[in-house]
Every structure is written in C-alpha cells, then in structure tokens.
Chains A and B, each alone.
Chain A
Amino acid sequence: MLSVDLPARRLGLRPGTPVAKAQALYPDLVFMDADPDGDRQGLEKLALWFQHRISPLVATDPPDGLILNTTGADHLHGGEHAMLINMIHRLSGAGFRAKAAIAETWGAAHALARYGQASLTVVPQGDVASALSDLPIEALRLPPTSVEGLMALGVSRIGPLAAMPRAPLTLRFGPDIARRLDQAFGRVNEAIIPIRPVDPVQVVRNFAEPIAAAETIARSIGKLVPPLCEKLDERGQGVRRLDLLLHRVDRRTEAVRVATATPVRDAKRLTRLLCEKIETIDPGFGIERMVLIASLAEPMDRRQTVSSLIEEEESDVSDLIDTLANRVGTHALYRFAAVESDLPERSFCRVSALAPAEAKDWPDHWPRPTRLLPRPEPVQAMAELPDQPPLFFIWRGIRRRVKCADGPERVFGEWWKNDTELTIARDYFRVEDTSGERFWLYRAGDGEHGETGSQAWFLHGIFG
C-alpha cells in the first residue's frame, strides 16, 4: 500500500503494509490502483490554483507538496499567519488535509510542513536552525540509503547531524547530506522554477548586461507593457492580473504581481501599477531577463463612452482602486452597505469598493453617532427604572452628569436568526453631559424583566 486515508490510519494501517495482509485484517477495505501520473497532474492543477490566489512563484514539490515563494504577497492576505490559515481552510473545503509552514528556505519549509508538530508553522527570520534541530533526518530530502546509514550510526535528528564534521560524512555518503543541510539552513541557494499557466500572454526581454538601477527597471517595464497590450488587443482581452518575473544573475527569481478590479488594456495604467512596485524588487547582482505574463486575462470589449447630455458623468475611479488595492490589499478597500437590522453593529456590511450601488439605505428617523465603538464599553450608570435615561454615568474613570437625554429607543434581539436572542432587548439613549459632549448609551434589558438582559449599561457610540 502506498497511501492510506485517515479512517484506515485509525485502524492501524500504514503505508508499506502488504495488500494481502491488510485484506486479511479488514476484508471490506476499499482499494484503488495508484495513479502517479494523475497525482502529478492534480498537484499541478492545485499549484495553478495557488498561483491564481496567492503568489506568482509556485512550484510542485512531488509527490505531495507545493512550494510557494510568498515574499511580498503575505500582506495582501492579512499577514503570514492569516494567509496560512486561509490556505488550509480553502484546501480542507476542497477535501484536502494539509499542513503548512513558512520558513526562509525551501528545505526548512519542506521539513517543517511534513515533520513539524503543528499543522501551521511560521518560523521567524533567523530561527531556522533552532526550528529544525529536533526534526528527524528524513525531513532533509535525503536518499533512503543515506537515511538508513545515518540511523545505523545512531544519528536520527537534524541538530546532531548538522554539528558533525562534514568531511567524513561526505566521504561515506557522498555530497548529498552537506548540500541538503546547506539548502535547509540557507547557506546555498535553491531556485524555485515556477509553473506556467497554459498558453499565457507573455513578453520576454533579455538583457546583454544585467540591470539593477530602479530607473533602468522602470524603462524596461515601459518597453514590455505596450507589446503585451497589443497581444491582448488581438485577442480582445484585458488583463486582470499581471506577473512580472525578474530572473537574477544568481539564479533567483523575483516576482511582482499587480491585480486590477476590471479588465485593463491601457499600457500607461499598467506601467504605472508595475512601476509602483519597483521598490519591492531586490535586484541583487543584477537582472538578466524579465518576463511579463498576463496570468489572468478576461474578455474586454470596446465601449462607447456615455453621453453626457442628460447628466454629468461621474469620473471613473477604478484605476485609483487598483493602485490602492495593490498597496493595501483588496480586503482593506471597501464600502459600507445597509443591512436591514435594528442592532447597530449588524446594520452594515462591507462590500467591494466597486460594487454596484445597492437599493437599500439606512433609515434616518433616529440620530446615529459618528463613531461607533468596536465593541460596547461597560459604564457605571444610575437611572430610574423602568425607562428613564441615566442621571450620571462613569466612563473610562470620568464621571459625567447627564444634562438632557433622548430615548429610549428599544431594540429587540433578532429571534428569527438566533434562538438565544428571543427575549433580548436593548434601550438606547442619546445623552448630553454638562460639558456638551453627546454619547450613545444603552441598557442591556428593558428595565423590568430579568430575562431581557443583564440591565447593565454600555456606551456604544460618540456623537459629533
């Protein structure tokens, strides 16, 4: 058997068990023929999917792994940790169980993802040696004969292996061990050769002399983009995502990715988007080859401009949205849309910045505070029951006497969404203190019935 699924593993079956033996133990076991070619193709498909989603530099790490260079891509997904969680969730949604690790080198990430304790590992810069020292030597991608030989010598962990003198090891096992160790610890470079989507629109530019200066890179980008746009024009397509791969003389590849909200074929605009990313490129000793790939292109038709006879046309801001999205990430760029809910914290939702205008809008018969606190803060207050506004309240250590107030505005729990909210109620008051500051307070409960809430007071917003 080459591989077993989770329930089979629970029964005690392991890869390597003879089929006959397993069948004898569990007669109703389901067997499938191994399909290495199919597995490889599946892995490549998955790699393409990651290339679409996360980072342009993705390579397969057969038989069961993917390797991604996420430098400069993590902040668009809310940080390294959030990005890993997101990746694992998406994979589990597709039916894959995955482990992920981020480290400085391919070797270290490979080892930690397969042999690490946690399903999620992020190794901080410079901590590779300590993170690897406890892992078994199988994690180093060594040939099986070397692993067996080392085991026979009593070396089973990476830490002791790294501390051994190199010369006798090389003499006995060949150069592999030293090379793999150096690759894992980042002493020699290991290039990631990224997979390519099928039949992409791409433009290549080779340099006789390696280039490194920002101005030269900008000029080269300016020469790459127009031919790409011409090719796209022939196909009637516009680009949604553009990858610029920069092959350095030391065989490393730097990648820059820009995305647009709508298909774009405007050379000037694409050049500008790419040039803004130049500062993230590390040219090292020089760049000898630049490849510009339209990794996601969508059909784009020529459109007639809207006549401005009737009303003044609103200017198009999609190019600005693209620029900002490439800087802060699309998740940090949004509009608020109205949601039909009386609870203030549920009365809005985030929609994409270029989403079409929705029909719903907030009702405006009650005043609403300019600033809504992220979560209501408890205050001490004294109020007459059942429905009088507080006489005073203490918030963040300051006692404020209420001069005048409006309310109560009673809000009920959404029992049609959640059974526990069946009896919940809140009484909102707009109060003004003696200095003129205006606050939005509420009491959790209606002041009469214990089941409607704790009857404690909270401050939820500040009026301008």
Chain B
Amino acid sequence: MSASPDMKPVLETLRAAISRLEGHTNRRRSVLPFGVREIDSRLPGGGLALGALHEVAGGGNDALHGAAAGQFVAGIAARTRGKVLWIVTRQDVFGPALKQAGLSGRRVIYVEAASEADVLACFEEGLRHGGLGAVVADVARLSMTASRRLQLAAETSGALGLAIRRWRRQTEAADFGQPTASATRWRVSVLPSVGLPVPGVDRPRWLLELIRARAGECADFEVEACDAKGRLAYSRGLASGLALPAALANRPDQEAAGARRARA
C-alpha cells in the first residue's frame, strides 16, 4: 500500500523524459473538433490536432483536380480564427466557392510560388509564424525530410498545417503511399448524392478515409460536404444502406432545406 505513492513520481519523471525525447513541449495540445461525434471519437484528442501537419488528397480523378480535397480543407480552415495562407503553384481556386464553405475572401492570402521548393519554403515560413489560423499548400511531392521540417515548424508555433496533395498525372498519385511525418492523412472521394424527389443535385457527399493517424486508428466515414460554416454532417447513409441512429437521420437542418426546395 505504501509503495504506490512512491512509484508515482518515478512514473511521472519517466513520462516527462519520454515526452522530452519525442520532442513535445509542455504546451497543452489543443485540437479542432469536426463537431461530428463519429469522426471526433476516432481522432486522438477528439479532433484535428493543432500544431501539426495534416495531409489531404482527393480520391480517383480528384487526385488531379483537388476539388473535394480543396473544399474539405477550406471547411477546416474556415473554422479556425485569423488569416489563412493558401500556397499554390498554379492558381485555380475559385474564391466564391471557399466563401460557400465559410472561408471569406477577406481571410485568405494567396501565395503563387514558382516551384515546388518555393511552396515548401513558404509553407514552412507560414507555419513558423504562428499568427495564422491555418496554412494550406498544394503539394505534389512531400519527402520524409520535408514533412518533418513542416511538422516541427507547426509544433513550435502551434499552427495548423494542411497539405493538399495534388498531382499532375494519375500515375504520380502512388506517391501518396510514401511515409511522411504528418499527424493525419485523409483521402476525400466524391460519392453520388442521395437523390432528390425532384430534378436537381442534392448536397454533395464524400467518402472520407482517415488513412493514417498518429496514435490513432484508420477509419472510413461517409459525410455530407461542408455547409456554409465549414461543418460536415454525418451522412444519412441511405444509399449504402447503413443503419444509423434516428437522431442522426433526423437532422434539424433538413426542415430548412426542405422548405427551400419547396420554394424552388
């Protein structure tokens, strides 16, 4: 009985030593929750870790276009505070679309870098600054060394780094299998929308694959795309025939959406 109080300080020192070896600072690690219980419960800490690098790629043809990946990232960046740095090599982001994911044009500063090396340098510079809500970059090649640098820069400043992995050719997308130092790795693929009783396109749906999570497990989610405040919603799953709790299927925003459609 008297042994346990003596043991505890030893354990505490060991824990501190390990975390020092791993390079973690004493700062409390904060997270940015998605606000969707199914996703947050699978992520260590209950959300997307701030002060870390996260990779997002599109699935299928979207590996080239990066449209769904871009919208997903915009939704995450929209829920942070402060300016957002968006680094591209060729500019094809459409401002009004980001605004529809909740990311106002007033908050996004674009950097058009001439080369991949410049992208990584600007990315690191942005992460190191620490005064930004999020730093987003279109990255094709991301080596272990480069991602380690970015991850360290993000750790020291507590900034949120979001790398949109995007390639020129489908064959190059195999690069996504290479290991990197990022905290999580996501793949966003478009899913057919559920279908409306009237002609028209329903809210977009995505298959969100959490391919890798540090200190966490992989998972797949079917979600509905970002709304005007950048929030995802867990999909009703009617098309895939998933059984869901009634509380999820009966979403409160459906009434408003139904009324809007009735007017249209």
Contact = CB atoms under 8 A, between A and B. Distances in A.
B30 to A, nearest CB: 15
A321 to B, nearest CB: 7
Interface stretch (A132-140, A330-338, A442-450): A330-338
Contacts of B104: 361
A168 interface: no
10 contacts: A315-B131, A317-B131, A317-B132, A335-B105, A336-B108, A362-B96, A367-B97, A373-B92, A404-B200, A463-B71
Interface residues of A, number: 53
A371 B96 contact: no
A338 B191 contact: no
A368 interface: yes
B82 A314 contact: yes
A357 to B, nearest CB: 4
Contacts of A327: 118, 121-122, 125
B114 A432 contact: no
Interface in A426-464: 430-432, 434-438, 461-464
Given A328-B122, A437-B61, A333 B110 contact: yes
A4 interface: no
B167 interface: no
The 9 A-B pairs at the shortest CB distance, nearest first, are namely: A464-B71, A315-B131, A436-B192, A336-B95, A372-B94, A464-B68, A362-B96, A368-B96, A332-B112
Interface string A406-424: 1000000000000000000
A392 to B, nearest CB: 16
A437 B192 CA distance: 7
Given A335-B109, A364-B228, A436-B190, 19 more contacts: A312-B81, A314-B81, A320-B126, A320-B129, A324-B126, A328-B111, A328-B114, A336-B108, A357-B106, A362-B105, A364-B99, A364-B100, A370-B66, A403-B192, A438-B204, A464-B62, A464-B69, A464-B188, A464-B190
B83 interface: yes
The secondary-structure label for the interface of chain B is: mixed
A334 B65 contact: no
A449 B82 CA distance: 49
B190 A338 contact: no
Contact of A368 (B81, B97, B121): B97
A323 interface: yes
B105 A361 contact: yes
A348 B95 contact: yes
A369 B98 CA distance: 9
Contacts of B126: 320, 324
B204 A314 contact: no
B67 interface: yes
Contact of B110 (A336, A404, A464): A336
B99 A438 contact: no
A338 B228 CA distance: 17
Interface in B176-210: 188, 190-193, 195-196, 199-202, 204-206
A364 B97 CA distance: 9
B95 A338 contact: yes
Question: Which residue, of B95, B99, B112, B125, has the highest number of chain A Cβ atoms within 10 A?
Answer: B95
A326 to B, nearest CB: 10
B97 A370 contact: yes
A405 B199 contact: yes
Contacts of A464: 62, 67-72, 97, 188, 190, 204, 206, 225
Interface residues of B, number: 61
Contacts of B81: 312, 314
B110 A315 contact: no
A421 B225 CA distance: 36
B93 interface: yes
Nearest to A436: B192
B48 interface: no
A316 interface: yes
Question: Which residue, of A314, A338, A462, has the highest number of chain B Cβ atoms within 10 A?
Answer: A462
Contacts of A369: 67, 94, 97
Contacts of A321: 109
A371 B225 contact: no
A348 B105 contact: yes
Contacts of A344: 94, 96
A304 to B, nearest CB: 20
A361 B201 contact: no
B95 A371 contact: no
Given A328-B118, A336-B95, A368-B96, A404 B201 contact: yes
Interface string A69-88: 00000010000000000000
Nearest to A75: B114
Nearest to A363: B96
Contacts of B211: none
Nearest to B70: A370
A430 to B, nearest CB: 6
A256 to B, nearest CB: 17
B194 to A, nearest CB: 10
A448 B261 CA distance: 28
A268 B122 CA distance: 20
